[in-house]
Structure 1
Amino acid sequence: MSANDPTRRFSDRVADYVRHRPDYPPALLHWLRRELGASPSWRVADVGAGTGIASKMFLDAGYRVTAVEPNAPMREAAVAWLGGDPRFRAVDGAADATGLPDASVDLVAVAQAFHWFDPPAARREFARILRPGGLAAIWWNSRRLAGTPFLEGYEALLREYGTDYAAVAERHADDASMRAWFGTGLRGEAHFAHAQRLDFDGLLGRLLSSSYAPRPGHPRHEPMKRALRALFDTCAVDGTVSFDYDTRVFAGEVT
């Protein structure tokens, strides 16, 4: 596999991912329960689980969760964080080959990962592992690109220093593409505002958790850090900046 294989892109970023990636707004889970009936009795497969951020959200609400993650360092981080909960387990699997039994889960959850999947192959696998009438819920924390000087400056920084930022950003499915993927099975969609307040160390860690951020030793790394420091010093209020998201969720049956 190449270093750009999506199952390996984050192997050297796990610590930053664990410490600095955002969680998801509580309103998201409330929406899944209220609008779609996803009760805590449901069995959840968190596909592309990474370090377990979405798994933790479901566990805290009383669900049983199987985290499906092909990247070993990220999966190990999820186990280290959540493995003490008897309702949690992690398996080495991918979106097109989860390794889970037929009709074994009630909800397939995909948080911040669908853009790395092959959509037709994922559809076939999700349909196989979901019980009849089960649902898939797919969502992203979509970083706002404009609206404040910080958000606009951060986007410009990524375009200048990111190693393959444009190619990765273009992978994210837009709303119309997700509606088309679900087709007649779409049961609902929603958007929620979300944000992190970050000091400079948190902002740097958030940046370095991204797969397109140049790592130490790369010729763009130090110039990127200097540019980030200048942006932070210009935009910070009381020592922090607001890293703003629109959390977009789509849910429905997979046929």
Structure 2
Amino acid sequence: MSAAPDFAARRFQSAAAHYLAGRAPYPPALIARVVELLQLEPDDRVMDLGCGPAQLAVGFAPYVGEVLALDPEPAMLELAREAASQVPNVEVVQAGSQDIGAHLGRFRAAVIGRAFHWMDRAETLRRFDGLLEPDGAVVLFGDERPKLPENAWLQHYSELIERFSADDEDRQRRRSEAFAPHMSVLLHSPFSRLERASVVTSRELGVDGLVQRALSQSSTSRARLGAQADEMVAELRAKAPAWSPTGRFTEVLFSNALIARRPVAD
């Protein structure tokens, strides 16, 4: 299957409004750990590619001299510019992975949060090879939800989301055997020396938070589902009380950063 573009038919135009409330933040402790492992310095430059609302860009800003935040979706860029308005060393630009090149300058690190699957991954890594300093790194941020008693409600939530997104071709592409895991793509790239950093966090959500998360996802956004989005929200609100009688949902997250660097020369 062919690689997806950076965004599909403006799905995130409608998802953007729900993104900050619906998605788990990137833990500051994880960002600090990545800074430590990469030994980032106050005069370094970092690129946040597919920045969305610029959570990573703002998170890295205190540690480095400049962060360039790129995203192709105008609605996301509005959020990014608002977040960066009080952070003088973050620049927000409309661009996708296909737009990066030497004109952007050099960087010590390129970070990507929950967006790498939208890109031509091999080509993006090839472009990074021409932009990153010799000791530079590509860092992919993401999260997993372990099978713990606290996360038991997630099975019901996921089954509901799966029904409304089952006909999403992009979702099917990412879940197919033909779509290599990110780690495999990195192992066959110029950045094949891998290391993983992680932290475990816990947060509490209400039913509104579950609705926001559903609408923040490309496969169940209003832009893709249309009128079915209201059906999904109504069903979610009707069924959620059975998943947690208190109406509160504890979520334990395994947040991780996959750090990819060039091999050490023999």
Task: State whether structure 2 residue 232 is matched by structure 1 residue 229.
Answer: no
Instruction: Find the aligned partners of 1:8 and 1:181 in 2 and give their Cα distance.
Output: 31
Query: Is contact 2:41–2:63 with CA below 8 Å preserved after alignment?
Result: no
Partner of 2:208: 201
Deviations 1:177-236 (A, max 9, x none): 255245763241133323431111122111111111152983432332233123421233
The DSSP-based 3-state class of the residue aligned with 1:6 is coil
AA of the residue aligned to 1:32: V
**Between Structure 1 and Structure 2, which shows a larger proportion of helix residues?**
2
AA of the residue aligned to 2:136: G
Instruction: Find the aligned partners of 2:169 and 2:235 in 1 and give their Cα distance.
Output: 19
The DSSP-based 3-state class of the residue aligned with 1:132 is strand
Identity of aligned residues (%): 24
The DSSP-based 3-state class of the residue aligned with 1:85 is coil
Instruction: Find the aligned partners of 2:43 and 2:49 in 1 and give their Cα distance.
Output: 18
Instruction: Find the aligned partners of 2:240 and 2:141 in 1 and give their Cα distance.
Output: 28
Partner of 2:111: 109
The verdict on how the C-alpha distance between 1:109 and 1:83 changes in structure 2, with shifts beyond 3 A counting, is same
The DSSP-based 3-state class of the residue aligned with 1:207 is helix
AA of the residue aligned to 1:47: L
Shift of 1:66: 0.7
Partner of 1:84: 86
Task: State whether structure 2 residue 222 is matched by structure 1 residue 215.
Answer: yes
- TM-score, with length taken from structure 2: 0.81
The DSSP-based 3-state class of the residue aligned with 2:20 is helix
AA of the residue aligned to 1:45: M
Instruction: Find the aligned partners of 2:15 and 2:128 in 1 and give their Cα distance.
Output: 28
Report the number of matched residues. 254
Instruction: Find the aligned partners of 2:7 and 2:36 in 1 and give their Cα distance.
Output: 37
The DSSP-based 3-state class of the residue aligned with 1:31 is helix
Query: Is contact 1:46–1:110 with CA below 8 Å preserved after alignment?
Result: yes
What is the 5 A alignment of 1:1-255? 5-6=7-8, 8-61=10-63, 64-99=66-101, 101=103, 104-144=106-146, 148-162=151-165, 164=167, 167-168=170-171, 171=174, 174=181, 176-182=183-189, 185-215=192-222, 218-236=226-244, 238-254=246-262
RMSD: 3.1
The verdict on how the C-alpha distance between 1:117 and 1:144 changes in structure 2, with shifts beyond 3 A counting, is farther
Query: Is contact 1:194–1:245 with CA below 8 Å preserved after alignment?
Result: yes
Deviations 1:50-92 (A, max 9, x none): 1111112112445521101111221122112212322010112
Instruction: Find the aligned partners of 1:179 and 1:56 in 2 and give their Cα distance.
Output: 25
Query: Is contact 1:193–1:245 with CA below 8 Å preserved after alignment?
Result: yes
AA of the residue aligned to 2:26: Y
Deviates more, 1:180-189 or 1:53-62: 180-189
Query: Is contact 1:162–1:214 with CA below 8 Å preserved after alignment?
Result: no
Instruction: Find the aligned partners of 2:171 and 2:24 in 1 and give their Cα distance.
Output: 19
The verdict on how the C-alpha distance between 1:12 and 1:3 changes in structure 2, with shifts beyond 3 A counting, is farther
Query: Is contact 1:46–1:68 with CA below 8 Å preserved after alignment?
Result: yes
The verdict on how the C-alpha distance between 1:158 and 1:49 changes in structure 2, with shifts beyond 3 A counting, is same
The verdict on how the C-alpha distance between 1:85 and 1:136 changes in structure 2, with shifts beyond 3 A counting, is same
- TM-score, with length taken from structure 1: 0.84
Q: Which runs of no fewer than 5 residues in structure 2 stay unpaired?
A: none
